[in-house]
Structures are given as C-alpha cells and as structure tokens.
Amino acid sequence: MILLDGKKAKISILEELKEELLKLDRKLGLTVIQIGDDPASNVYVRNKGKMANDLNYNFNHIKLDDDITEEDVLALINKLNNDDIVDGILVQMPIPKHLDSKKIQNAIISVKDVDGLTDINMGKLAHGVDSLVPCTAMGILDLLRFYNLDVEKKNVAIVGRSDLVGKPLASLLTNNNATVTLCHSKTENLKEHTKLADILVVAVGKPKLINDEYIKEGAVVVDVGINRTEEGLVGDVDFEKVKDKVSYITPVPGGVGQMTVAELGKNTYKAHVLRKKKL
C-alpha cells in the first residue's frame, strides 16, 4: 500500500508554477471575500493567504459583516470584476442564509472565477472546453497524475454528487477517458458499484462510511472527507480496515486538502492567462 501524499504533490505543483510566474511582468492578484466569522472559514482563508504569499501574489482578504445586504456584495464583486489587477475572485463558503449563494457565485465573471463554480465554468467543463475547474476535483486528478496513475480506461466510482467535488470530478474524469459511475444517497446497493471500481473517490462527509467490504482488491482510494470526531480528524473511508486491501490511498489529513490549496494557486495563474486571451 502506497500513500498518495498530497503535501509532496503540492510542493511539486507550486514549484512548477513559480517557474511560470517568473515570466510575468507583474504580481498576480487574488481576492477572497469572507462574509461573517465562521471558524472553519477563518482557517481556510488563512491557508489560502499562506499559499498566495508563497507564490508572491497580491492577496486581498475582504471580510464583511454577516448582516451585509446582497446588493452590497454584488456591487463589490462587480467592482472587482472590473479591476484589472485582480486576477482571481472567490467567495468563501458558507455564507449567511439571507444571501443567495448561487447568485453571488455567478456574479463573478467566468475568467476570474478561481473556484470554478459559476454556471458558465461548470458548463464548459461538462462540454470539455478549457475553463477554470473546481479546485478539489482538479487536485484529485493532479494527485493521481503525480503518482503516474492514469485514469484512461479505468472504472471510477465517485461517492457523493456535490457541485464542489462529485459532479465536476465526474465530468473531468470522463473528459480524460475514464468510465465513471456517480453514486449518491439514493444509489441502491452501493457496494455493487464501488466493488467494480479501479479507482474509488469518496466525498460525502460521513466518518468511516467505507470499509473493506466496499473495495475491490488492489483499488486506488481517494478519501476527500475530513470529519472531526472524538478520535481526531478522520476520513469517509475507514483507513485501518482498508489499508491492506488497497494499492494506493490518500491519508486524512495530508491528502486531497493539500491539493485543493495548490490548485487555487494554479487557477489564479490560469485565470490571468484566460483573461489575456480574451483581451
């Protein structure tokens, strides 16, 4: 069993990216909008800031009160859309309930949408058009590539159909010639699907949901879940029960989460490149 070390892959990706950034004539700009004071969001934004500083980006963290009006949020996004030195914009989720998250995400112009979550970017991904792809989905593919694990002609089962991971990953893997089964809470006989998978990706947020009974001998397992429990952070896969049956597996923590931050760095550069093509 080999661990898919996200930290190692992240370092490699960011080193390659730094080479490309040296060729540019200015620092890239990344703006993160945070609404309210969610403790988990504070941690995620801090990690994004560290990554941005490592890449010498101009990082702008705009923290808004949780009673802000939707109109004011949309006005701010519109201003950033039109600011030439801002290459990437993202709104840190979750946001307060009185705000329409879809409307706010879609207010970001597609070439600055470094989360890849606008309807335009999701549509382009589904159609195989070059676009900004959600960071976790792209991170999973890049982690597999780092370990020379080709997805072409492989049976891949994804458990979880979120807009953030499951749906974009299904499109991304299909575009890369994998045969994809997308499972979810209404899937009957889940084991029948997961046991056929050469590569199994689990992203549902349920601690230790998947054990050795769900996994084919020698499968590659990507555990996207990070669950806080009394025994500490655990994934959606029961690591101890599957470790002797799998060929490769991501650790939790230290796996996919590391890749997500690296992909945001890559997407900020890609956003800059895509916008230059449009100008």
Catalytic site residues? Answer: 48, 92, 115
199-202 and 155-159 beta bridge pairing: parallel
88-91 and 58-64 beta bridge pairing: unpaired
For residue 168, whether the previous peptide bond is cis, meaning omega lies within 30 degrees of 0, is no
Cβ-based neighbours of 277, under 8 Å, separated by 6 or more:
none
131-166 residues labelled b (16+ CB within 10 A) or e (exposed): bbbbbbbbbbbbbbebeebebeebbbbbbbbbebbb
User: In angstroms, rounded to a whole number, what is the distance separating the alpha carbons of residues 55 and 49?
Assistant: 10
Expressed in angstroms, the distance from the first to the final Cα of the chain is: 48
